[in-house]
Amino acid sequence: MIKPHGSETLNPLFVYDPVRHRELLQEAEGLPSLLLNSAAAANAVMLGTGYFNPLTGYMSAADALSVAERMRTTDGLFWPVPVLNLTRDLASVKGARRIALRDPNLAGHPVLAVMDVQDVEELAEPELDFIVEKVFRTLDPAHAGVATFRSLGRYCVSGPIQVLGFSYFQSEFPDTFRTAVEIRNEIAERGWRRVIAFQTRNPMHLAHEELCKMGMRAVGADGVVIHMLLGRLKAGDIPAPVRDAAIRKMVELYFPPNTAMVTGYGFDMLYAGPREAVLHAVFRQNMGATHFIVGRDHAGVGDYYGAFDAQRIFDEEVPKGALEIEIFKADHTAWSKKLNRVVMMRDAPDHTPDDFVLLSGTKVREMLSRGVAPPREFSRPEVAQILMDYYRQEVEGQV
């Protein structure tokens, strides 16, 4: 199986030993506590689940600035996006060297991790701007990821952590949430050797389904891991439970047995375009995928990134040999009226836009909210029904 990023074996930071787990929880009750924001809590979950291997905790200001500038930590580890614990208020942990990190997303704010504090640093405004511009390629406060990052605070609390929980992800998505360790184990159990991963924060329509199958055929994969984001999204995006139901129905009905795994991970969307695409590749390698699909406007939002910037970064900025996982570069896929099947647009140079069934996201949402199913050339009817039911409930809830 493919090696994890940066180490020979996967080293998740979750404390699996029950005795040690219990001891740490007891200790945490007597420690100064820091209530995390959602972004820092998601980072803790990703560290605990092994997706952020080989990191041992939150980055210092120096590492964050180094990663932003050159995609390497100060000690040379390749990493595309700073992994930070930013806060606006240090009063509860001032001067402490060991603290409890509490979950903002669960009632009662249970302990999520225990942290050894190495540094507490205040990031100056120019440093925050530098990180934002390098990671998001814009300082525009209207950018969803920029707005979130700038709301987190300027105090950087860094150091190694021991993770004691997976926040709401395990309880709310017991059939879907999986750690990198669990996915590696299932890949081995299924006997898969070549595995392609597909990232999604949206329901999958027919073009996405066919893209997964095209990718499998192109790289000779034994199976595809459909890996959905289960964390915070921007306003207007479809909730994770609805996406989960729609994707499971699609796989159940339209994928051959033992060719697709439906899984999810606990992280908040960054909308960082090219840099986030590289981060996605890192943690797909950590979960055991040998190939990763990067499509049009991967991890993008609005018009902040070029359609294929997230593919170019692997050729132009990711050093050769920095990652073992291979990238399958996909074009926009759509139903061809000429060929009567889904194709990648680059594979149909004789087509005009009128030769494809193309619907904007706005148009699709409008149809679904009116109870009108998109054409079969765009969406499987069973998937469309789940989405129509969701939009109908939304409309009824507003009446």
User: Which of 33-42, 124-133, 362-371 has the weakest average pLDDT?
Assistant: 362-371
User: In angstroms, what is the C-alpha Rg of the chain?
Assistant: 21
Task: Provide the whole-model pTM.
Answer: 0.94
The single residue listed with the structure tokens 């991963």 is: 197
More confident residue, 365 or 194: 194
For 76-91, the pLDDT digits (tens) are 999 999 999 999 999 9
Residue range 324-356, pLDDT digits in tens: 999 999 999 999 999 999 999 999 999 999 999
Confidence bin at 235 (pLDDT 50/70/90): low
Asked: is 176-398 a CATH 3.40.50.300 domain? The reply is no
- Is omega for the bond preceding 54 within 30 degrees of 0, making it cis? yes
Q: What is the pLDDT at residue 232? A: 72
- The stretch 309-318 carries a mean pLDDT of 97
The per-type count for the chain, helices as H runs and strands as E runs, is 13, 15
Q: Which residues of 33-68 are buried (b: 16+ CB within 10 A; e: fewer)?
A: bbbbbbbbbbbbbbbbbbbbbbbebbbbbebbbbbb
Q: From 6, 41, 167, select the one nearest 115 (Cα to Cα).
A: 41
- Please state, in angstroms and rounded to a whole number, the distance separating the CA atoms of residues 54 and 136: 24
Is domain 18-170 in CATH 3.10.400.10, yes or no? yes
Measured in Å, how far apart are the chain's first and last C-alpha atoms? Answer: 53
Model pLDDT, residue 231: 85
Say what the pLDDT of residue 12 is.
98
Q: E strands of 267-398, at which residues?
A: 291-294, 326-329, 333-336, 341-344, 356-357
Q: Which of 29-33, 237-241, 374-378 has the lowest mean pLDDT?
A: 237-241
Q: Please tell me whether residue 305 adopts helix, strand or coil conformation.
A: coil
Banded pLDDT at 398 (limits 50, 70, 90): low
Q: Delimit the domains of the chain by residue range.
A: 18-170, 176-398
Would the CATH topology of 18-170 be identical to that of 176-398? Answer: no
3-state helix, strand, coil in the chain (%, to 5): 40, 20, 45
pLDDT at 397: 62
Q: Do strands 155-163 and 119-122 pair parallel, antiparallel, or not at all (unpaired)?
A: antiparallel
| Active site positions, annotated | 201-202
Average pLDDT of every residue of the chain:
95
Query: In this predicted model, what pLDDT tens digit does every residue of 141-162 receive, in sequence order?
Result: 999 999 999 999 999 999 999 9
- Residue 399 confidence class, pLDDT cut points 50, 70, 90: very low
**DSSP 8-state code for residue 398:** H
